[in-house]
Amino acid sequence: MQEYKVDRRGYYGEFGGAYVPEMLYPNVEELRNRYLDIMHETSFQKEFQDLLKDYVGRPSPLYLAKRLSKHYNTNIFLKREDLNHTGAHKINNTIGQILLAKRLGKTRIIAETGAGQHGVATATVCALMGMECIVYMGAIDIERQAPNVSRMKMMGATVRPAMSGSQTLKDATNEAIRDWINNPVDTHYIIGSVVGPHPYPDMVARFQSVISEEMKWQLKEHTGNENPDIIIACVGGGSNAAGAYYHYMDDKDVRLVAVEAAGLGVDSGESAATSVLGSRGIIHGSRTLLMQTKDGQIIEPYSLSAGLDYPGIGPLHAHLIETGRAEAVSITDKEALDAAFFCSRQEGIIPALETAHAFAAMDKIKYKKDDIIVINLSGRGDKDLATFVKHL
Amino acid sequence: MNRIEQLFKNKGKNILNIYFTGGYPNLNDTETIILELEKAGADLIEIGMPYSDPLADGPTIQESGTAALKNGMTLDLLFQQVAVVRKQSNIPLIMMGYFNQMMQYGDMAFLEKCAEYGIDGLILPDMPLYVYEEKYKATFEKLNIGISFLITPQTSNERIKKIDELSKGFIYMVSSSAITGAKKGISEAQLDYFNRINGLQLQNPRLIGFGISDHETFSTACQYANGAIIGSAFIRALKASNNITQTIHNFIEMVKGKVTV
């Protein structure tokens, strides 16, 4: 059992580990030594659960999307992470990590962000706890996710543009790691996805696992059975997917669908479909699948969606996909946009562009009429209005 | 005994290790840079393998790497350039890069190429100690390739002893927990750290890197270790240069100043 959970050294099968320069080693080691103990403390759990309930607004509803179900002739439930405070699942993790950072005696918080949802979620918890907050964001993403930049600033965070490389999520992550190297004592780095060196992928997955924990009893209420047949989630780094899969990973009758961004098309040269285009290597301190040249240079990815515009995937997902436990589906920009409009008009819910990729997967996967399908509605689309308006 | 060990045996003090990025400023500068550095009086040369995502390097070195990749640098080409240099020079050469580069080249093929073309040591800052020990140590030893692990002011004494046990050639002593090129001068806290390390009676010699940029920082570093490594400051000099040969000689002269060699 538990073959999909992290092992003692921080690996999922052959993926994971902590490939970090010595300058980061003491920080990562401190986290590795303490994260589980801290997370299991009664006082931590109480504070975490209270904030998830009263501040985030959990549990998030599990909603039977009747019109979508009718259209696809099956049973589609939406896990409404978009209704969380700040509008996405990202806050589950930032609440957990800020409480952990406080217990580690850290006073300064840094984060990377792509779509800005994790940056906003980090700025939010820093305001809540009165901590200094610096968010690194690719210069291109700052432009395409302007509303989130304003939100971060309004809550007192400093947004620093990452100017190197493709000026997107990968480069923001590099800059955040550099900041941590330069500030090893007082700073905690809140990584927003299940990426990075061990223990981050496991820690973030645990904080996000509340999603599938709730799904179990909610499905039981709705259907009498706590297991669905299929769970669909979009994967950039993969934190919402990790949370939606977490308590089902060992139940092999539950199909896990990981939806990646194909950008302009998997073979177009402008894509972020890592499981198809990637190979084994190391990115941001983790051994996983990533898009790279034969010389090991990391390839700049592309997706219209800033949150999926990342050339790697978390090591857990690399393991799930490589072992066949999860099936990967690639969705283009256009398919995602169409799905965003379709969902908006069918259900009155505007999904984030990232999440729209998960909806579009309904047109690609096989399912049966009687199936119970859960789509993890990881975030709302307010931040993407400027993009959507261009395609109205 | 390889060339690095020989160097520390013959000259235990004031070792000057200069880092440059392969393929920068121009694709085919490797030969000129190494040969002129040797003539000017560098003892050891560290060749950076340009990388798209160099986490342990600062902006100056990252920029030089980006430019080198744009110039068309590849590992195969770098090996060819090293092979040409090796026919003309016996200076110890180290390659510094990231573990992913070695993995993608084919880890064992990479090590064999290093040995074949006369690379004496490697610095792979993101390769974990246990990975080296369990997977590569035997091959490094068989091929007589040295390896230098990094230590920082935050590295525990226990871990430093483990690093000393695994390193072969020298230990790369990060002067502060700052990315290369970010800090100027040497502080009291850094001196305490240097003294602490000297008290540990390690078997490997130490070179201090990060923040060494001129005569003052170099000579201070030489008082507390066997020598020092200069990277970002040299890259900046190359960037501003109209005549690489002249720049190299001026730079080494500036660094060495009155330090006796």
Query: CA end-to-end span of chain A, whole Å?
Result: 48
Q: Of B195, B192, B226, B196, nearest to B209 (Cα)? A: B226
What digits encode the pLDDT tens for the residues A183-195? 988 999 999 999 9
**Per-residue model confidence (pLDDT) at position A115:** 87
pLDDT in single tens digits along all 392 residues of chain A? 458 999 999 999 999 999 999 999 999 999 999 999 999 999 999 999 999 999 999 999 999 999 999 999 999 999 999 999 999 999 999 999 999 999 999 999 999 999 899 999 999 999 999 999 999 999 999 988 889 999 999 999 999 999 887 888 889 999 999 999 989 889 999 999 999 999 999 999 999 999 999 999 999 999 999 999 999 999 999 999 999 999 999 999 999 999 999 999 999 999 999 999 999 999 999 999 999 999 999 999 999 999 999 999 999 999 999 999 999 999 999 999 999 999 999 999 999 999 999 999 999 999 999 999 999 999 999 999 999 999 98
Residue B178 pLDDT more than 80? no
Type of residue numbered B203: Q
Q: Is the dihedral of CA A228, A234, A238, A243 positive or negative?
A: negative
Q: How far is residue A274's CA from residue A193's CA, in Å, rounded to a whole number?
A: 15
Q: How many domains does chain B have?
A: 1
Helices marked H in chain A: 25-40, 42-51, 66-72, 90-103, 117-129, 139-144, 146-154, 169-182, 200-208, 210-223, 239-245, 274-277, 315-322, 333-347, 353-360, 385-390
Q: What angle do CA A212, A213, A216 make, to 5 degrees?
A: 80
Q: Which domains does chain A have, with CATH numbers?
A: 12-51+90-204 (3.40.50.1100), 58-88+209-390 (3.40.50.1100)
B195-248: per-residue pLDDT in tens? 999 999 999 999 999 889 999 999 999 999 999 999 999 999 999 999 999 999
The predicted pLDDT at position B177 comes to 52
CA–CA distance, B120 with B181 (Å, rounded to integer): 25
* Cα(A271)–Cα(A303) distance, integer angstroms: 6
Which residues of chain B make contact with A164, given a CB cutoff of 8 A?
Answer: 59, 62, 66
To probe the interface with B, which of A178, A286, A298 has the most B CB atoms within 10 Å? Answer: A178
Would strands B146-147 and B121-123 be described as parallel, antiparallel, or unpaired?
parallel
Considering only the beta carbons, identify the residue of B53, B98, B127 that sits closest to A174. B53
Question: With contacts defined as CB-CB under 8 Å, which chain B residues touch A182?
Answer: 177-179, 182
Dist CA A243 CA A250 (whole Å): 14
Annotated catalytic, B253? Answer: no
Other Cβ atoms within 10 Å of A173 Cβ, number: 31
* Nearest neighbour of A297 by CB, restricted to B69, B154, B174: B69
Q: For residue B261, tell me if it sits in a domain.
A: no
Mean pLDDT within B118-144: 98
**Measured at the alpha carbon of residue A316, what is the angle toward residues A271 and A182, in degrees to the nearest 5?**
80
* Cβ within 8 Å, pair A17-B128: yes
* Number of Cβ within a 10 Å radius of residue A63: 17
Judge whether A178 is closer than 8 Å to chain B, CB to CB: yes
Distance CA A142, CA A145 (A): 6
- Minimal Cβ distance to B182: which of A182, A184, A294: A182
- Specify if B84 maps to a domain: yes
Q: Is residue B106 part of a domain?
A: yes
Residue B194 in any domain: the answer is yes
Is B48 domain-assigned? yes
Instruction: Give chain B positions within 8 Å (CB) of A293.
Output: 104
Which range marks the domain in which residue B88 is found? 3-256
**Res. B1 pLDDT band, cuts 50 70 90:** confident
Q: Kindly state whether A163 is in contact with chain B, defined as any CB-CB distance less than 8 angstroms.
A: no
CATH of the domain at B15: 3.20.20.70
The per-residue pLDDT for B181 is 47
